[in-house]
Amino acid sequence: MTSKMSRKLLAWVCCLALVLTSWPLAAIAAEDDEDSGTVIYRMQEDPGISGADEGAAFSGTDYLTNSGGGTRSIVTYNGGRSIYLADRTADFYGVDIKLSALNLSPGTEYTFTVHGHVDEEAVLPGGSLIVFSNPNPFGPYGQYQWLVNQPLTKDGFSLEYKAVFSAATIAQIGAQSYFRIQTSSQASTVPIYIDNITVTARPADEEPADPEWDLTLDSLHEVYKDFFLFGNIASPHQVDDEEFVAMFTHHYSVVTAENHMKPEALSPSKGVYNFANADKLVDWALENGIKVHGHALIWHSQTSPWLNRNAEGQPLTREEAQANLFEYIDNVAGHFQGKLISWDVVNEAFADGVSFNGNWKDSLRKNSPWYLAYANGADEEAGESGADYIYDAFVRARQADPDATLYYNDYNEELPSKRDAIAAMVEDLNARWAEDSRNTEPDRLLIEGIGMQSHHFTDSLSLENVENAIKRYIETGAVITVSELDIPYGSYSNFESRTAPLNQQEQVIQAQKYAQLFQIYRKYADSIERVTIWGIADPYSWRSAGYPLLFDRQHAAKEAYYAVIDPDGYLAENPPPPPPVLPEASAMRGSPVIDAEKDEIWAIAPEINVNKRPDGQTADAASAVVRTLWDEDYLYVYAEITDTELNNDSPNPWEQDSIEVFMSETVHRGAEYRVGDGQYRVNQSSFFCLAARFDLDPNLTDRNIFLNLFVNIFTLSSNSNASTGNKSQLTVSSPGMLEMYKF
């Protein structure tokens, strides 16, 4: 098909989509009436909307309010009024429905329906979702969470969420209790139109059971008392709730403030310190025999601009930032002095995706406002740099609260590159402290602990990486804390798009990961001070879309709870499938010339069989012989492919006859690409005799290579068997894999 034709077809499909989605709203509302009961709110009839002038700025109505930055205006659409949201700077900025305005009553099922669309020309990045979320804490809705979502497409959207509120929940609904219309981060800059919002009410079939904690379950911290402290997070408002307190004291012996001891919460502007909320939590904990870990003093996120930026948002000078850092740590660590067992002194200072080159400073997050301010005026010749804020912070924290154990805390901390950079930083700064005249305790390290946040995913968790990281961190002499453990189901890129709770099989898969991690934690318990889970139950998690925790929406124990209580027993009863046996092959050493000629040297390379065929595929479809060679700089791949007919018709490159090479220099086999991973596709014009070379990163320390070859060949229908149909994908060999030895 010519591209012109496909454009025409696309335009026609778009028109059709537009016609379908712009079906008169009145018809939708009438249907809603029948299906879901009485309409108690309809945006089109909200006087703040229907009475607004075309183009007027939208600043909220009695029922709706704006959240976050960007512009909002009222536009005419399809004979009605829409709210147009543009220039949003964050995905979680949108329009909120004020729950307090709806006069909710118990025993009623409310259906919230949101219709909207995007411009025909809108550019929608992959992963764009429209989201109905709950931004504020109340009742079982807890804190910020997604309620329902769907892909954001040119076809418009129609989100529906049903809720039955108990009397207890309604009692907690206040002026700030909202349901929000927002997007996923991928679509935070895509302008969206909200065309209608309706809320209908009808008698509920069943009263919702208020969630209940079962305190006859074995206590997590009791089970682990001979291994490490066992903790969870809390927010000050929760400690007024007796059921929460009974649960927390039953299961946990240590608490971390989820948000209320971060700089933005404690000191919004220079000279202003708000300790009331944090004190409430700390005092409650101490009165209840619960230890408190401080989180976090110096961080690039959830921080206060005054600390490191000027009024224009530009970095302060090094001297100004240092003075503020000292002042902040003196005030904050000083305020809690003697009450906390430990502090995360610096949080998340390292960047992602940087391979470690031996100098940890090169792996830092260089756009951190702390780094930028400390770099502003640094005397580079004297060895000063943006990195110096880290040492300053630890020294000052030691002086402000000498009894607290001082931690460095980070995520992705198990990945080899970040792991090596963190460990090198800890060793370097501790060596520096050993020589520092301010050090009055020669036997004590400055950075005494490494916090492994452990924000994992079921799809990408590598137990090998976790164990290797623990071993490397132990070598530094520091103790370890698993500081923010959670395991959403799925991967980083897909966990937010699920719409249903985990089924039994998914729960078991997640539980197996918990069990396997706790087997490792038990093994290294001598070096592990504390394990803290980041959330008490799924709905309150910052990653609630992935159902990442030990307890569910009703507060019932999930499989994951039983896995944590008894990892060995759980895995004996629920054995994970054995890891797949990967075919291995050797790559011979040699350097061919890459010039489309088959050099003689290829003869030394053994043939690698990549011709594994999926069931039902005929052997005559196509076949491949692959050879590899390596030298200090490159991995070379030579593929000879035989196919009866070649086809490049599909507009999608991955559906054209091609060979794909996925290579990971860190032997990473996870769901998403990381540093050291590469994916290469060569299509049929060059693939009959493919010789290609792939750069090897000289900085990587783990010199194993994991190579995954896919040969995707699409044959014409004459070559397809009946069951695969016309021009369907015939993957003749996938995956062929080879591993190389260390070199």
The CA radius of gyration of the chain, in Å to the nearest whole number, is 29
Residue that has been written with the tokens 């209790």 in this structure: 177
User: Based on CB atoms, which residue is closest to ligand XIL, 258 or 448?
Assistant: 258
Judge whether 31 counts as a catalytic residue. Answer: no
Minimum distance from residue 90 beta carbon to ligand XIL (Å): 12
Query: How distant is the alpha carbon of residue 213 from its chain centre?
Result: 28
Judge whether 607 counts as a catalytic residue. Answer: no
Beta bridge partners of 698: none
User: Based on CB atoms, which residue is closest to ligand XIL, 177 or 453?
Assistant: 453
User: Based on CB atoms, which residue is closest to ligand XIL, 136 or 666?
Assistant: 136
Minimum distance from residue 529 beta carbon to ligand XIL (Å): 17
Q: How many residues does the chain have?
A: 743
User: Based on CB atoms, which residue is closest to ligand XIL, 166 or 259?
Assistant: 259
Angle at alpha carbon of residue 672, lines to 667 and 673, rounded to 5° = 60
- Write the single-letter amino acid at 5: M
Rounded CA-CA distance 388/361 in Å is 9
Distances (CA, A) of 194 to 66, 158, 159, 523: 12, 10, 11, 53
User: Based on CB atoms, which residue is closest to ligand XIL, 544 or 658?
Assistant: 544
Closest Cα partner for 73 from 86, 64, 90? 86
Residues near ligand XIL (CB under 6 A) are 143, 258-259, 347, 411, 453, 484, 542
User: Based on CB atoms, which residue is closest to ligand XIL, 258 or 660?
Assistant: 258
> Within 13 A of 227's CA, how many CA atoms are on the CB side?
22
Query: How distant is the alpha carbon of residue 514 from its chain centre?
Result: 18
* Catalytic one of 258, 348, 413, 448: 348
247 token code pair: 């649960």
Q: Is 338 left (phi over 0), alpha (psi -120 to 50) or beta?
A: left
Minimum distance from residue 520 beta carbon to ligand XIL (Å): 21
- Assess contact for 664 and 697: CB atoms under 8 A: no
Minimum distance from residue 542 beta carbon to ligand XIL (Å): 4
Could you count the other beta carbons within 10 Å of the beta carbon of residue 729?
Answer: 14
Q: Is the bond leading into 603 cis (omega within 30 degrees of zero)?
A: no
Minimum distance from residue 297 beta carbon to ligand XIL (Å): 12
Minimum distance from residue 142 beta carbon to ligand XIL (Å): 10
Rounded CA-CA distance 132/66 in Å is 14
Label residue 723 exposed, middle or buried (CB < 10 Å: 0-12, 13-18, 19+).
Answer: exposed
Minimum distance from residue 328 beta carbon to ligand XIL (Å): 17
- Assess contact for 232 and 535: CB atoms under 8 A: yes
Minimum distance from residue 252 beta carbon to ligand XIL (Å): 16
User: Based on CB atoms, which residue is closest to ligand XIL, 158 or 259?
Assistant: 259
Rounded CA-CA distance 474/469 in Å is 8
Residue-wise burial string across 337-348, b where 16 or more C-beta atoms lie within 10 A, e elsewhere: eebbebbbbbbb
* Catalytic one of 109, 414, 484, 529: 484
Residues annotated as catalytic (active site), given as ranges: 348, 484
